[in-house]
Amino acid sequence: MKINKIKEMSSPDLEKELGELKQELFKLRFSLKSGNSNNPMKIKEVKKDIARINTVLRERELAENK
């Protein structure tokens, strides 16, 4: 997911997307450990998306407090 798309989304949408990505990460890790993973690099992509969303949410939180 691109950062521009993330910045355009509202905070509730971002929190919903964050929850979905965390569930997906859990499933990917589980499938990797069980040996059923088709694309182990997908874990890296999902982790980066989670970090991007957390960064944007934190930026918005800091902007509100100023």
DSSP characters for 10-41? -HHHHHHHHHHHHHHHHHHHHHHHHT--S-TH
Residue 35's pLDDT is 87
Domains and CATH numbers, the chain: 3-65 (1.10.287.310)
- Average pLDDT for 1-27: 95
Q: Tell me the CA distances in angstroms from 18 to 12, 45, 53, one per residue in order.
A: 10, 13, 7
pLDDT digits (tens, 9 = 90+) for 12-23: 999 999 999 999
pTM, rounded to two decimals: 0.90
Looking at residue 37, its pLDDT comes to 79
Q: Is the pLDDT of residue 25 over 90?
A: yes
